[in-house]
Structure formats: structure tokens, C-alpha cells
Structure 1
Amino acid sequence: MKNLINALYRNHSLGYKLLLFVSTTFLIVYLFPKSGKFKYNFEKGKPWQSENLYAPFNFAIKKSDAELASEKQKIKENSPLYFNVNSTTPKLVKTNFEKAFATMFTDSLSASKRFQLEQAGLNIIDNLYEFGVLNDDFVFPETKKVIILEDRVEKQQTQFGNLVEEDELSAVITRVLEKSNLQHYATAFTSLFFDLVIPNLEYNKTFSARVLQEELDQVAFTRGSVERETLIISKGEVVEGIKFQILKSLEAEYESQVWNKSNYNWIVFAYTLLVALALLMLLLFLKKYRLSVFENNVKVTFIFFNVIIMVLLTTFVVDYNSQYVYVVPICILPLVLKAFFDARLGLFTHVITVLLLGLIVPNSYEYMFLQIIAGIVTILTVSELYKRANLFISVGQITLIYFVAYFAFFVIHEGSVETLKWETFGLFILCGLATLFVQPLIYAFEKLFGLVSDVSLLELSDTNSKLLKELSNTAPGTFHHSLNVANLAEAAANEIGANAMLVRVGALYHDIGKMKNPTYFTENQATGINPHDELAPLESAAIIINHVIDGIEIARKNNLPDRVMDFIRTHHGTSLVYYFFKKEEERDPQVKREDFMYPGPKPFSKETAILMMCDSVEAASKSLKEPTSAKINDFVESILNKQMQDDQFINANITFKEIQSIKKVLKQKLANIYHLRIEYPE
């Protein structure tokens, strides 16, 4: 049991990566759509790019959404309205009319006239209640079919325009009286019937809605069928009309038949295999080519976190509306990774992420081609991200690449530009604008994961910062030395393609530990008094060596990033404090060499190796008397060759060719510093 615990402890970093790998795989699979992906990509109006397609099984042709909507609209227009009628109302109105008529019209009228008027009134009632009088105002088309129910039984059918609304009473009275040439009695009859007419039609809304719903439920969602082995579409044929509908029906049939519940676990398993394979390639890349990143769990977590974020955003947009998939700023991923790591890692991770997204987006080949090309352009064009203009220029170039690539694909598919979808170009512009969000995102990641980008390095390089101000006041000689080393290191880094900003910042802070005992270092001994004269060589060596440890403590108190502290740790490697070692050796030939050596570690990157070279050369150059080009050449060669003999660069990924280039730069810079000129004959 104890051995097992010890083994787990020794391999806890690998265990964490395994847990991260598994959890990321399952999270991405969880975000993916829970169905298989139709193996053919097609778009309406574009040529069929695959081979001739034959029906793999019998299936029905589904109607399009537009067809179904049209059918349902016709049903709604033709569906009748149902009204309940009260058949006793006309009789009651006639009885009340006879009473009111006798009161209104006096005996002064002749019997024939009186009879004529009475018959006209009865005709008015018959016209009003021929189909019925409405009890409310309704907004329906005049031609809308109406069925009148009496005791739930259909009594008659008519159109809504034949039903009488209360505000139409005067018009009906006038029309009837005009037929009998009694129109001059219209006012009297209108006044009479205003109090007599009783509505007898009530709209049966519930029954009308139920009948409409029954008719809608009977709408067929399919029309016709396709038999197995029937040719659906040929290669190069344009996908439109019935062909498009058949293909959509086949895709839907796959979802209902092929991707059923019994196959769900297999589909999830297949997705898991593909995602795991892609993420495994990413881990293997880190282990083989970026071992320092692979061994840092925070950095590995950061990379996987960014992949998950991109998958999450894309799946959300695809679920909402796949037409907006190009709004997702995928190029933020290589931008962020390049800011914190390097271009090669950024591009590799970008490609892996795009391959994963190709499983869920429509037109996956076109999508992957556009995004990979855009990622390559991002890596190639973005440099010195801390300069705002560079980011805007790069985003403009990325957007232009989107435009060109999409235009090319569209012409290939359509064969013309007449139906070009200009709104897609708007999506690319929105994507470019969203990519500009990378700056605040980088700042957030720095705080969240404790990483350092070039933007932060630019802030740290400000010599007016609190810590560098303190260094210039406390140890002015050391500050001046650090500035010189920074200039040399930056030039050397530019020569071999290393991170110039990082090495410059490392050079500015590499000797901050000397602030603790500034006068014990020769560059700060302005008075000519050397306190080492009163100390034993071993004590002097300890003070000199401890400036590395003191520097790390000061850096931690001032929250300097680990990438900067690496320069403090490694700028002397495991070299020997040679002067005091020789001094002690004169006193005690049995002196231990280890007591006069820096604790290390040795430089483990190009940048830290560059700083070691430049620091040693700049410090030792102060001892040159009457420097010449030959002296400087021999001087630089001897120092750097000695460091190589001591295996100080054995852990750094720097080549002999690069070291030779650095030697050349240092020789040129020192020659400029000492203002060497060609001696002209008198």
C-alpha cells in the first residue's frame, strides 16, 4: 500500500494530465450534438459534390416547411366559423313589433297604407333574421364560410358577409323600404327597430377552434416515397426543388432509423474515440516538442481550457443557427497561444480544434479549409501583439482571407457570382471585430492562470517601474550594467529569432538581488573601498552567490512572473566564482570547488542562455584595457567557449550555429560601445 501511495505521488503530474485528458474528452463529447452526422454535405442551389447517390432503403419524401405552412394556411382560411342560433328570437321580435307598430302609427293612415307598412316591417324582420343577427362585432373576411348550429345540429351554411351586425340595421331597413317605395318612412322604422332587434347568433369559439385543430392534425407530412436502390441524385447535379427535399428526407430518415436509441451508445463511443484521438495528438506534440509546457500542469490546463471554450462557443451557435457559425472568432485561439507560448504550438492547437469542430458544423470541408487558412495567416502576420496597430492589421488580413476563400468556394459550387450571399461577408466582419477582444482576454488569462504575455513584458520593461527605480537608486552601477546587458541580449535574440522582449525584461531584472548588499559588487563601489578586503574568500563568495537567491525573494515579493524569475535563477548557471575560489585555493589547496559554485539551474531556453552569455561578456568587458577589435574577438570567444566547455548550455535548445551568431553580435556591439575606429596613417 505504501509503495502504491509513493508511486502515485511520484506520478501525480502524469495522473493529473490523464484526468484532464479524460474530463476534457467527455466534456467535448457532451457538448456535441447527440446524433450521428449525415455523411454527405449539401446545400440548396449548389452542385452535388459526392458520387451518385442511390436510396439505401425505402423512405417517404417529407414536405418542406414552406409547403406545410402553405397547406395549414389554406386550411385556416377555409375552415368554417360556427355560430349558435336562437330560433325563437324572430317570433319574439315580430310579436313586439306588432305591439309597437300599433302605438307608433295612428289611425290617420288608410287601412291599405297601414297594412303596407306593417308588411314592410315584417319583411325587415325576415331579412334581419334570414341568417341571424350577431351579438358582437367580429373581424372576419366577408367570404368566410359560416355554419349555423341549432341545438348542436347544422341548420344552414352561409358566408360571414350575410350575417347582420348591429351597425348594419339601418342599411337593411332602407334596402327593404326602397323596394316598396316607402323609403321616406326609414327614419321612423329605424327608431322603431332600434329597441326591438335582439341578436340571435353567438360565436362558438371553442367548437370552431376544435374543428380547425382536427383539420390541421390531418395534414400529411409526406408526399410520395422513394424505393430502395432508386437514383436520388447524380454527381454534379444541382441540389434544388424535389431533389433537395428528397435529400432532406433521407437525412431525417437517418436520424429516425439509423441513429435510434439502440445505436446511441455506439455514436457516443465513436465521438469519444475521435475526440480522444485528437486530444492525444495534442498531448504527444507537447511531450515531444514542448516538454517544458507538457511538464507544467497549469499550462496544459490553459491549452485544454481554450480548446473547450472554442468548442463551447461553436456548438452553441450551431445549435442556435448554423448559418452564423462564421461569427465565432476561432482565430482568437492561435492569437492567445502565440502570445503565451509560440507560433508552432498555437497553429497545431488551432488545427486540432478545427478538426474537432468539423464533426459538427455544416459544410465541414469548406469550414475547416477557411479556418485553417485563417489560422495560418494569424500565425504568420501577428508579431509584437503588444503593439495595437499590429493586431488591427492582422485582423484585417484575416478578414480579407475569409473573403477571398469564401468567394472562391462559392464560385466553385455555383459557377457564377449572381447569387453571392453578401450577408456572409458581414458575418466575417463581425468575426474580425470579435477577434479584437483578444487583448482583454489575454489580460484575464494572465490573472487567472498566472501566465505572462508580451503585453505584460512591455509593462515590465518600463525602467520607471517601482522595482527598477529602486534598483537604480540603491545600486546604480548594477542598474547601468543591467541596461547594457538588456541591449546586448535584445540584439542577440533578434539575430537568432528568440523572444527579444522576454530576454530584455529578464536582463533588466536579473541582478535585482544585488540591492541587498550593493557595495559588495564592484560596479557599485564608487568610493574605491572594497568591503571584501575584510572578509574571508568563502564569506565573500557566499555573498556573491546569494544575490541569486536574494533576487528570487525580491521578485516574489514584487509579484514578478515565473518566466522572469527564470532569468534570475539561471543567469550564472552552475559557474564558479573564480576570483575568490583562486584566492581561497592559495590559502587552502584542499578547498571544495562546490562551495564556490552557483546553485543553478543551468539555462534551459534560448533566452536564458543568451542572458548568461551577455551578462558574462558585459561584466568582464569592464576589465579590458585599450580594447581593439582583436582583443574583443578573443575576449568574447574565450568567455563563451569556457561556458560551453562547462556544459552551461547543455539544457538549452540552442545550436552551435546560433551561438556563433550571438558571438558575432556581441563583438559588433562591444566594438560600438568602445568606439573603435580604423587607424588611418598620418
Structure 2
Amino acid sequence: MISFSRRNKIANKSALEKSSALKPVRYDRRFVFFLLLASLVLILSHSVLENRFEPAVGVVIEKDIYVPKEFVYTDEYNARLKWEEEFKKIPEPFRYSDAGFSASTDKLLRYFSNNAEDSQFADLIITNPAKRTHAQKQVKELIDKARKTGLLEKTYSEDVKVRIIDRTGIERIVSSSELMQPGNWEQYFTDLDQDESARISGLLDKFLSPTLKYDESRAIKEFDRIKADNLPEKITFHTEEPIILAGQELSERHVEILKQLEQYLEKRNFLMLAALLGFVMLTVVFGVLYMKKFLPFIYDNVRDVAAIAFAFGSIVFICYIVQIVAVKVEIGSLKFTNAVLPVAALALTLSLIINVRISIVFSVLASILISIILASRSALMAAFIFGSLTGVLNGVSVRRRSELFMSGVWIAIVEAIVICLVGILHGEPFDALRADLISVIVSGLLCASIAQVLLLPLEMISHRVSNFTLLELSDLNHPLLQQLLRKAPGTFQHSQHLALLAQSAAKAIGANSLLARIGAYFHDIGKMDKPEYFTENQSSNENPHDKLKPSLSAAVIRNHVLDGVGLAEAARVPSAVIDFIWQHHGTGLISVFYRRALELSGEDENVNRLDYQYPGPKPQTPETGILMLADSVEAAMRSINSPSANKIERMVKKIIADVFESGQLDECELTLKDLTMIADDFTRTLCAMYHTRRVVYPEANEILEAEKKKQE
């Protein structure tokens, strides 16, 4: 058999592992913070880093193309058309240069010699000697004319004006028809047949160098001057403004706009990503530092941190999805705006499940982050913040699902008021605000719906319970409570008394009074397995413990904790309520049987103190600490004869002092001020319960005697 000491160690280990407040987790805060940071950057990067375009002339657009961010387009397309038009008005420049002309003419004339047939251009030589001599003469004349009038480097199909710059830099404008142009050689060889003329033209094209060469550097300077005098127009496209409508065929100008937009986005993508990362890091760091400095009990609870991170990331993701969907939805001619984003759902959710201060801080941070990254409007930032504060104020008092719906309505009303006030201050017409007002109505309804959906996963992550779950457990027709009523009516009544004490005291110090009440309902359900071993269920003077050894009696008493946990887990009672079963006795001593064991033990017999301790752990929250105090006070109250206010007050203060000095409240964060308030509230409640100032009504015979004396 396993010794009682060994069984106690096993029970203690099981308690530490199963209590939700101390249950080991597979992740730590750093991992949670990193995961939140990465998730936010991944979600929001889709908003700041836009998709690439692949434009092509002639492509028909299937849907409207909007500008994702404010974009200034430099209209180089129309500017280029104007530059080219202006440039055409200026005669093209040619600079006189005969360098290489003489060498080219000498080489050309050599092909008319007798041995030219052996050259690589023999197919272009006229074979008839007489005709060759005649052609050579004509070529010489043409060369002289080219040297005198000038040979252009280009050929013009029509007569145009050109500029000639001589060696001294003097310009003169002449017609192109007055100058020789390459490619028109046949007109100089009219007395030759077509084949011979073509041969001579071929030689001239091969060898004759122009004397008037195109001055490209001067042309470039003139074109640059034209560009400087005619700068491209700057056209601003505002956020969400369509630049190309569905059904349009892409023109060259459209393609240029899209290419410029792509270049603009590529240049700012890296900077945008860096700014996004920095802003998200700043948001997360501020939230973490606030928790660490002002709410260390939440910062130290990794499950709470994970739940907050999950809620924050979920709301940002939902807002991103809502924004995408809202762009595609239209009500007649009215489109939804970014005011539809349900940012205030975070405040409503966290106030329902975690903490009011946490919900305020993180909802304000979310409002700033989402309004800057997704909404890009200062008016919406103000609306989101005030809507979130409204969600906090309503969320802390929500008890029914209808009240949750009304919280969404109040969020919509407050956000609508803020948008109208900011619009009036900025001088915006009402028609411009109509879309925002419709959007905030939808946003309020979304906030209530999203909060309802997120409660279940947040309860699973944090091991906390929402008011809705607690209210479901408050029904006395719950199967476990009904079993307790049938099997252990005294324990059931004891639990009801404790519920009244714990709820009132929790409310007095600002703890979760509803959780304290439900915890009191279920804390002793383990007693219904052996109800007769507990004094509140003993109707006769016989006590079964009188027939048991102290060690066995202690085992029965302490096992009601383990039995209760087993019953609660089988019924799927939330972990936060099961914590009350584990912790309502802490690691306290079962003193009655421990003292009896000491008295009955011999000199050589060793009594192990651990066999007479509850498995624990000690209370980890203010609510479980209050229940421990209420349990001790209510048990002691049954031992007071003729209770009076003074007796009750002294007894309450003594019990609370004893529990405090035993160290059982060291881990539940109850302050001395809290304990004083709890003692005062216990005293007031117990006095009311036990009617310490009730009137003593006379018996019937006493009334008759009084009447007789009156008659005498």
C-alpha cells in the first residue's frame, strides 16, 4: 500500500499541475510577443505593400484599378508628345566636316581603274571601258559638287529646312533640296541604263563620306532646353481614387501611369515595411511595459498574456478582412468607409474576460495602429478611441447577451457623434459624412458579434470565464448542484451562505463578485461522495469519525478536494471555477485530527504532518482567497452561542488574522486594506444573516398574564 505521506505528495503534485493558475505552459512570454509582432506585421504588410502591375497596351481592364496610396503622377507621356512637337519645329543641325572625304573619294575613283575587277566590289563595276570612263567623269563632277554644296548625312523624303554650322560656328538655314543627299544618286546618271546607274549608286553608298554630319550633341542640348521650358504636368491621384475604370483598353498613357505607380511603390516598399515594423514594435512594447509595471499579476500569467495577444491579433486581422470586403459592398450609390472597422470589439472583449485597465490600454493602442495603417484618417482615430472606451464602460457590466448587443449600439452611437463633431470642426458637409455614419452603425453590430465569437477561444486560452459562462453556472438546477442538494443538503446550504459572503466581499474590494459566488457554489461538491463525514450533514449525535483512526479521518476530509475536482472535470466545469475547489483550503492543516493523532501516538510513533494537510495550492486570486476566508468564518460562526454584533466582529477579525499569519494568503494579492474591507463586509453580512438585533417576541401565556395584571 501507498503510505498516507506518499499519497499526500502525489495529491500535492496533481494539484499544482491541474490548478489553472499554476498549470505549466509550453510557451513563454517572449514567444507570445514575437508571435504577435510577426502576425501584426504579416497582416498589415498586405495593406502597405501593394501588388505589382503588369500593364500592356491594348489589354482590357476587367475591374477598376484604384490608387492604394496618394500618388503624384508625372505626365511624361503628354509632355513627351509636346517636346517632340516643339523639337520638330527646329531645323535639324548639321556640322560641316570634310575629314575623310578626300580619302573616300580617292578610294572610290580607284575602282574605275582597269584592275578593279579583282576587288571585292567587282560586281558593282561597269565592265564596258567606255561607259566606265564616262561614269568616272560624272562621279568626279558629283564629288566636286558635294565638296562645294555639301553632302548631308541623312536623306529627307520631302523638302525641309536644315541648319548648317560651318567651321567658324556660323549657322545658316537652307533647304534640304539645295544640298546633296545620299541615296538619290540615280538622278545624276540619267545617260546610263538602270543597271549601270544602280552599280554606280552602290559604289557611292559604299565609299562616299558625308561632308555635313548630323550634330547630335547640339540636338540633345536643344531637346533638353525644350524639356526644361516645358516641364511635365504633376497629377495627384488620391487614396482609393480610380485611375482606370473597368472595360477600358490600356493606352500608352495608362501603361505609363501604371509603370510609374509600380516604381513609386517599389521605392517606398522597403521604407514602408521598416516603418510598419517600427510602429508595430512600438505598439507591442508599450503594451508589454504597461503590463509589467502596473499589472504584474497579468504580466506574470502567461495564459493571460497569450489571450491578450490572441485578441489583439484577431481584431487587427478581422479589421483587415472587413476593409477588403467593405470596398466591394455598395448600398445603392453609397459605399462603406473605413469607419466600418470594428476596432472597439477588442475593448469589449478584453473587458469581458481579462481586465478593465488592460482593455483600455490595448484598445487605445489598437485604435492608433489600425487608424494609421488601415484607415489613414485622424477623425476615425478619435472615433475608434471613444468607441473603445464606450466598449470598456459597457463591457464590465454586461451580464446578458442582450446587454452585449446594446453595448454595440452604444459604441455605434458614440462613434457617430465623434465623427459628426470632427466633421463640423473640419467644415465637412453632412453628405460627406453620411457614408461614415452608416458604416459606424454596421461597425457597432460587428463589435458585439465579434466579442461573442472571441469569448470561447479566449476562455480556453486564459482559463478565465466570462460573465455569460458564469451566469449559466449560477443556475441552481445545474446537475452537480442538484446532486449536492439531494446527497448533502447541509453542504448545499453551507455553499449558499458562502456564496452570499464571498460575493458581497468581492464586490466590496472590486474583485469579480460573480466568479466568487459561482466558485462558492461548487467548492464543496466533493463532499457528496461521503456526506455523513462532514458536520453540516450530520443530523444525529453520532459522528463516524469517532470509529476511525485520525489518519483515516484526515484522508476522508482532504479527499473531498480531489473528489470535487474529479466531478467538476467530468462535468466540464471551467478551470477557473475548479480552482476554487483546489484552493479553498490551500495547504492548511486539518488541525482536529492532527492534534488527535499527536495525542494518541506513542513516544516511538512518528506523525507525519503532510498526511494532515490539504493538497493545495494556496489561493492564487483574490476571489479564491475571499472564499477561503468566508469558509473559515462561516464554520466558526456555527460555534458561537447567542451571536451578537460584537461577538461576530471579534470572531471575523480573529479568523482573518489567523489565516493571514498562517501564510495561506501570500499568493493571492489581497492587501491589508482589502482584508480590512473584507472583515467589515463579513461582519455586516453575518449580522444580517443571523439577525443579531432581532426582536424577542413574547409567548402567549406571557401575554395573558400581562392582560390580567392590566385588569387588576
User: TM-score higher than 0.5 here?
Assistant: yes
Residue equivalent to 1:533: 546
Structure 2 unaligned runs (5+)? 1-23, 52-70, 78-229, 240-256, 328-334, 699-712
Structure 2 distance, partners of 1:373, 1:347, is 10
Structure 2 counterpart of 1:406, one-letter code: I
Structure 2 distance, partners of 1:454, 1:519, is 34
Find the partner of 1:260 among 259, 262, 266: 266
Alignment of 1:324-343 (within 5 A): 324-343=337-356
Structure 2 distance, partners of 1:655, 1:375, is 31
Residue equivalent to 1:280: 285
Alignment of 1:655-666 (within 5 A): 655-666=671-682
The question of whether the paired residues in 2 share the 8 Å contact of 1:26 and 1:272 is answered with yes
1:60 counterpart SS class = strand
Find the partner of 1:357 among 370, 377, 381: 370
Residue equivalent to 1:626: 642
Q: Deviation per CA, 1:487-542: give whole Å up to 9, x if none.
A: 11111111111111101000000011112221111111113221110112122112
Residue equivalent to 1:309: 314
Q: Please tell me whether residue 610 in structure 1 is matched to residue 626 in structure 2.
A: yes
Residue equivalent to 2:276: 271
Q: Given the superposition, is the C-alpha separation of residues 253 and 622 from structure 1 closer, same or farther in structure 2, using an over 3 Å criterion?
A: farther
CA offset at residue 603 of structure 1? 1.1
Q: Please tell me whether residue 31 in structure 1 is matched to residue 46 in structure 2.
A: yes
Structure 1 distance, partners of 2:477, 2:350, is 29
Q: Please tell me whether residue 445 in structure 1 is matched to residue 457 in structure 2.
A: yes
After superposing the two structures, state which structure 1 stretch, 562-571 or 348-357, moved more. Answer: 348-357
Q: Given the superposition, is the C-alpha separation of residues 433 and 323 from structure 1 closer, same or farther in structure 2, using an over 3 Å criterion?
A: closer
Structure 2 counterpart of 1:273, one-letter code: G
Q: Deviation per CA, 1:597-647: give whole Å up to 9, x if none.
A: 222211121111111111111122111111111111111111001011112
Find the partner of 1:477 among 487, 490, 494: 490
Q: Given the superposition, is the C-alpha separation of residues 591 and 62 from structure 1 closer, same or farther in structure 2, using an over 3 Å criterion?
A: farther
2:362 counterpart SS class = helix
Cα RMSD of the aligned pairs, angstroms, is: 3.5
The question of whether the paired residues in 1 share the 8 Å contact of 2:348 and 2:451 is answered with no
Find the partner of 1:675 among 691, 696, 702: 691
Q: Given the superposition, is the C-alpha separation of residues 59 and 678 from structure 1 closer, same or farther in structure 2, using an over 3 Å criterion?
A: closer
Q: Given the superposition, is the C-alpha separation of residues 578 and 604 from structure 1 closer, same or farther in structure 2, using an over 3 Å criterion?
A: same
Q: Please tell me whether residue 636 in structure 1 is matched to residue 642 in structure 2.
A: no
1:260 counterpart SS class = helix
Q: Given the superposition, is the C-alpha separation of residues 12 and 496 from structure 1 closer, same or farther in structure 2, using an over 3 Å criterion?
A: closer
CA offset at residue 61 of structure 1? 6.2
Structure 1 distance, partners of 2:430, 2:583, is 64
Structure 2 distance, partners of 1:494, 1:656, is 16
Residue equivalent to 1:167: none
CA offset at residue 420 of structure 1? 5.1
Structure 2 distance, partners of 1:679, 1:390, is 43
Structure 2 distance, partners of 1:445, 1:473, is 35
CA offset at residue 418 of structure 1? 5.8
Residue equivalent to 1:402: 415
Find the partner of 2:442 among 430, 438, 460: 430
After superposing the two structures, state which structure 1 stretch, 645-654 or 579-588, moved more. Answer: 579-588
After superposing the two structures, state which structure 1 stretch, 429-438 or 315-324, moved more. Answer: 315-324
Structure 2 distance, partners of 1:252, 1:363, is 23
Higher-Rg structure is 2
Structure 1 counterpart of 2:357, one-letter code: R
Residue equivalent to 2:475: 462
Find the partner of 1:60 among 74, 79, 86: 74
Structure 2 distance, partners of 1:255, 1:276, is 29
Structure 1 unaligned runs (5+)? 1-8, 37-56, 64-222, 233-238, 240-250
Q: Given the superposition, is the C-alpha separation of residues 627 and 226 from structure 1 closer, same or farther in structure 2, using an over 3 Å criterion?
A: same
2:372 counterpart SS class = coil
Q: Given the superposition, is the C-alpha separation of residues 289 and 536 from structure 1 closer, same or farther in structure 2, using an over 3 Å criterion?
A: farther
Residue equivalent to 1:174: none
The question of whether the paired residues in 1 share the 8 Å contact of 2:37 and 2:280 is answered with no
The question of whether the paired residues in 2 share the 8 Å contact of 1:35 and 1:259 is answered with yes
2:373 counterpart SS class = coil
Residue equivalent to 1:653: 669
After superposing the two structures, state which structure 1 stretch, 599-608 or 483-492, moved more. Answer: 599-608
Residue equivalent to 1:192: none
Residue equivalent to 2:617: 601
Q: Please tell me whether residue 554 in structure 1 is matched to residue 559 in structure 2.
A: no
Residue equivalent to 1:144: none
CA offset at residue 227 of structure 1? 8.6
Q: Given the superposition, is the C-alpha separation of residues 284 and 340 from structure 1 closer, same or farther in structure 2, using an over 3 Å criterion?
A: same
Q: Given the superposition, is the C-alpha separation of residues 418 and 397 from structure 1 closer, same or farther in structure 2, using an over 3 Å criterion?
A: closer
The question of whether the paired residues in 2 share the 8 Å contact of 1:567 and 1:608 is answered with yes
CA offset at residue 299 of structure 1? 4.3
Q: Given the superposition, is the C-alpha separation of residues 319 and 11 from structure 1 closer, same or farther in structure 2, using an over 3 Å criterion?
A: closer
The question of whether the paired residues in 2 share the 8 Å contact of 1:370 and 1:402 is answered with yes
Find the partner of 1:574 among 583, 587, 600: 587
Q: Deviation per CA, 1:153-201: give whole Å up to 9, x if none.
A: xxxxxxxxxxxxxxxxxxxxxxxxxxxxxxxxxxxxxxxxxxxxxxxxx
Q: Given the superposition, is the C-alpha separation of residues 459 and 637 from structure 1 closer, same or farther in structure 2, using an over 3 Å criterion?
A: same
The question of whether the paired residues in 1 share the 8 Å contact of 2:33 and 2:309 is answered with no
CA offset at residue 253 of structure 1? 11
After superposing the two structures, state which structure 1 stretch, 523-532 or 317-326, moved more. Answer: 317-326
The question of whether the paired residues in 1 share the 8 Å contact of 2:36 and 2:310 is answered with no
Tell me the TM-score normalized by structure 1. 0.63
CA offset at residue 283 of structure 1? 3.6
Q: Given the superposition, is the C-alpha separation of residues 562 and 362 from structure 1 closer, same or farther in structure 2, using an over 3 Å criterion?
A: closer
Residue equivalent to 1:13: 28
2:572 counterpart SS class = coil
CA offset at residue 26 of structure 1? 4.0
The question of whether the paired residues in 2 share the 8 Å contact of 1:478 and 1:523 is answered with yes
The question of whether the paired residues in 2 share the 8 Å contact of 1:310 and 1:330 is answered with yes
CA offset at residue 659 of structure 1? 1.2
Structure 2 distance, partners of 1:453, 1:339, is 6
Structure 2 counterpart of 1:465, one-letter code: H
Structure 2 distance, partners of 1:627, 1:62, is 96
CA offset at residue 441 of structure 1? 1.2
CA offset at residue 317 of structure 1? 4.3
1:654 counterpart SS class = coil
Tell me the TM-score normalized by structure 2. 0.61
Residue equivalent to 1:143: none
Q: Deviation per CA, 1:260-315: give whole Å up to 9, x if none.
A: 25x53343233223213322333444445555555555544433333233222333
Alignment of 1:349-388 (within 5 A): 349-388=362-401
Q: Given the superposition, is the C-alpha separation of residues 59 and 670 from structure 1 closer, same or farther in structure 2, using an over 3 Å criterion?
A: closer
Structure 1 distance, partners of 2:547, 2:367, is 67
Structure 2 distance, partners of 1:31, 1:527, is 74
2:74 counterpart SS class = strand
CA offset at residue 14 of structure 1? 4.7
Q: Given the superposition, is the C-alpha separation of residues 548 and 58 from structure 1 closer, same or farther in structure 2, using an over 3 Å criterion?
A: closer
Structure 1 counterpart of 2:684, one-letter code: Q
Alignment of 1:33-182 (within 5 A): 33-34=48-49, 60=74
Structure 2 distance, partners of 1:389, 1:313, is 23
Structure 2 distance, partners of 1:350, 1:10, is 26
Question: Aligned residues: percent identity?
Answer: 31
The question of whether the paired residues in 1 share the 8 Å contact of 2:73 and 2:260 is answered with no
